[in-house]
Every structure is written in structure tokens, then in C-alpha cells.
């Protein structure tokens, strides 16, 4: 909860990737709050009160996962809404002539998006979801200390730039609505 709150203020994309990781963490612990408290939350340098707050937060996420049928896979509706907001902003930025740097970066990334879609199982997912899925996948590979090819590293660098720009525009739009 504490990490999620900080990331949400700083970078909506990093927040979303973190939330996907939290969903997977919950699944790794069998959606059992007691295990998450003992084997995960206990390792953080939190006060007892903070550990209780974090446990409540995880408990609420587990409840939502159960209610939404996401115990095995998929993303919570709250995360999908955030993803949809990013996708809508992405489309608005592309359709406006006021954001040429974003559009330019998008066209650098587009071949990677097409390639990822051709390789992926879900060819109907939106472009931003494809980008975030690729970043999440590479993040998981890095956690496993797997080798990442130079081509993949290059693609991830470009995708990260686009997603970083989108995240920045998202926060700017929340502070003062962007003009399209």
C-alpha cells in the first residue's frame, strides 16, 4: 500500500506494473492473507501499525480478486480502469497535433508493438497494454536473472520511453487538463 501510493503519485505506469506484481504476489501465496502477513509483509521495515494497514490493504485486494474471479490470472478491475485511462490518453495524444514528440516516439515503438502482438496470444489487446505487458515480462525475466537479448533490450528502452512520456502526460493532465 505504501509503495503503491508513492508510485501512483510519481508514475502511473510504474504504479500499474507494481499492482500487477502485487496481484502475482498474492497468487504466489495462494491468496492466503495469513501467509502474506507472515512471509511477506513481516520482512518490511514497518511499524506494527503500518504492518496492520498493509495487511488490511492486501486483504481488500484478495477480497476483490475473489469477487472478480481473478485468483488464478487476470487483472483487477481497478487496474484495468487505470489501464483504460492510459489508453484513452494515448489515443488523444496521437490524434492531436500538439504533441509531436509523443507521436514521434510512438512511431519508433510501433514496429515493436506489431511484433509483440504477432507473437502474443491476445492480438486484440490495446497498444498500451501490449507495451506494459512487455515491460512486465522483461521485469520478471530480470528478477529470474534470465538473459535478455540486445534486441529485446533495445525494444524495452524505446517502449519505456513512450510509456514514461505517457505517464508524465497523465500526471500533467491530472494537475491541469491538457489541451487537445
Tens digit of pLDDT at every position of the chain (180 positions): 989 999 999 999 999 999 999 999 999 999 999 999 999 999 999 999 999 999 999 999 999 999 999 999 999 999 999 999 999 999 999 999 999 999 999 999 999 999 998 887 677 789 999 999 999 999 999 999 999 999 999 999 999 999 999 999 999 999 999 999
pLDDT at 121: 62
CA 22 from centre of chain: 10
The answer to whether 174 and 92 have CB atoms below 8 angstroms apart is no
pLDDT at 124: 77
Amino acid at each position: 500500500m505504501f509503495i503503491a501510493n508513492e508510485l501512483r503519485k510519481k508514475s502511473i505506469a510504474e504504479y500499474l506494473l507494481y499492482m500487477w506484481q502485487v496481484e502475482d504476489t498474492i497468487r504466489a501465496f495462494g491468496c492466503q492473507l495469513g501467509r502474506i502477513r507472515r512471509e511477506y509483509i513481516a520482512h518490511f521495515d514497518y511499524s506494527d501499525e503500518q504492518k496492520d494497514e498493509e495487511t488490511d490493504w492486501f486483504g481488500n485486494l484478495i477480497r476483490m480478486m475473489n469477487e472478480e474471479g481473478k485468483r488464478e490470472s487476470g487483472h483487477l478491475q481497478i487496474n484495468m480502469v487505470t489501464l483504460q485511462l492510459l489508453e484513452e490518453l494515448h489515443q488523444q495524444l496521437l490524434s492531436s497535433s500538439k504533441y509531436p514528440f509523443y507521436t514521434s516516439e510512438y512511431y519508433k515503438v510501433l514496429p515493436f508493438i506489431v511484433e509483440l502482438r504477432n507473437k502474443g496470444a491476445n492480438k486484440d489487446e490495446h497498444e498500451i497494454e501490449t507495451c506494459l505487458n512487455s515491460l512486465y515480462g522483461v521485469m520478471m525475466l530480470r528478477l529470474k536473472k534470465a538473459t535478455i537479448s540486445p534486441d529485446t533490450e533495445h525494444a524495452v528502452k524505446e517502449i519505456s520511453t513512450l510509456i514514461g512520456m505517457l505517464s508524465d502526460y497523465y500526471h500533467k493532465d491530472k494537475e491541469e487538463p491538457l489541451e487537445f
